[in-house]
Amino acid sequence: MLKTTSKQYTKKSFWKNKSILITGINGFIGGTLAKQLIGLGANVIGITNKKNKNKFLSFEKISSKVKIYNVNIKNFDSVEKILNNHKFSICFHLAAQPDVNIAKTHPFETFESNIRGTYNMLEALRSHKSIKSIVVASSDKAYGEYDIKDLPYKENYDLRPLYPYDVSKASGDMIAKSYATDLFKLPVVITRFANIYGPGQLNLTALIPDCVLDNMGHRKFIPRGDGHNKRDFLFSEDVADLYLCLSYNLFKNKNLRGEIFNAGTGHGYKVKDIIRKICFLSNNKELYANIEKRFKNKKLTGEINHQFMSYSKLNKLFKWKPSHKIDDGLRLTIAWYGKFFKKYKYDDFLR
């Protein structure tokens, strides 16, 4: 396989004026990626089903620099129409119902967006010869439960998900792999990343925003387990950088078709320790003492116990590694929520 030695993938000459489709453009990762692509001179076009979420793009001052279609990817004809209007060479398929809690109560909606949405996108892209690179976002959740002694997950582990969100991502993941086979030869790679955090995460029930917003007086953080379960966290700007890396390399090297890429920091943080870090970085030890009591006797249900993974395959092939340490990423994240919720009303972001 082709090896990349430097950050060739961030050269403007590659991205300039290329038509790039991002599904889920006004979401957390989609918005972060769009910002980087705009900076590289790309022509960014996106799909979303929730226009009211554009506040992240507006806040980051890029909403007028991208073209957005308000379309549900569950609808094949609507997706096909968009593809017929443009000559896309690159696609990032990020749109999904990504909230584990919502998936527990609304499995049907989750399956529809994450499974049907994925095969609609790939089926529509299949007839477009201009497309040279498609990155599909799966998740570490697709692996399901493994004993902690078998972690970090490796890319060749079987997918054995049980819970609705996890099953929806594993299904989309396998569908994507099927489109990448010799049958269809669609240029697809699949990402299975750990939890992502950072500026723009507006699914406020996720661990980090939930705790940061408790500190800001907007929410009460309710733990979902006793705090001893382990999770891995990647900073959103590192993830966007990694998406550029994968997309560029697939564009340049068809042999990557069908490859799976894990990314995490390789470190399993106890949920409790992340909460402690946030409280301490926010100078609020009292909040930590308070939350610590809430962890007592909490039992994790409908979720995987421990999850973490490394970036060793990515590092071996592309020399990629995350550039943010957890404390630095958390500091940037806490500061961003402070600024964002000075400008926008917290209540507007409740589901």
Ligand X SMILES: NC(=O)c1ccc[n+]([C@@H]2O[C@H](COP(=O)([O-])OP(=O)(O)OC[C@H]3O[C@@H](n4cnc5c(N)ncnc54)[C@H](O)[C@@H]3O)[C@@H](O)[C@H]2O)c1
Active site residues: 165
Nearer to ligand X, 223 or 264 (CB): 264
Q: How far is the CB of 239 from ligand X (least distance, A)?
A: 8
Give the three-class secondary structure for 155.
coil
Amino acid at 47: I
| Dihedral of alpha carbons 18, 76, 204, 174, sign | negative
Nearer to ligand X, 28 or 251 (CB): 28
| Dihedral of alpha carbons 120, 166, 337, 33, sign | negative
| Dihedral of alpha carbons 271, 277, 283, 289, sign | positive
Residue spans of beta strands (DSSP E) within 159-205: 188-193, 195-197
Q: How far is the CB of 285 from ligand X (least distance, A)?
A: 27
Nearer to ligand X, 3 or 61 (CB): 61
DSSP states of 93-131: E--S---HHHHHH-HHHHHIIIIIHHHHHHHHHHT-TT-
Nearer to ligand X, 113 or 265 (CB): 113
HSE-up of 96 (CA within 13 Å, CB side)? 29
Residue nearest ligand X, CB atom distance: 27
Nearer to ligand X, 53 or 313 (CB): 53
CA nearest neighbour of 200 among 24, 38, 70, 37: 24
Q: How far is the CB of 147 from ligand X (least distance, A)?
A: 21
Q: How far is the CB of 297 from ligand X (least distance, A)?
A: 27
Q: How far is the CB of 8 from ligand X (least distance, A)?
A: 25
Q: Which two tokens stand for residue 179?
A: 């489109």
Q: List, in sequence order, the alpha helices (H) in 127-270.
A: 164-179, 207-215, 236-252
Residues linked to residue 235 through DSSP beta bridges, in sequence order: 197
DSSP state of 158: P
**Residues found near ligand X in the complex (CB under 6 A):** 24, 26-30, 47-50, 53, 72-74, 94-98, 113, 117, 137, 139, 169, 193, 195-196, 203
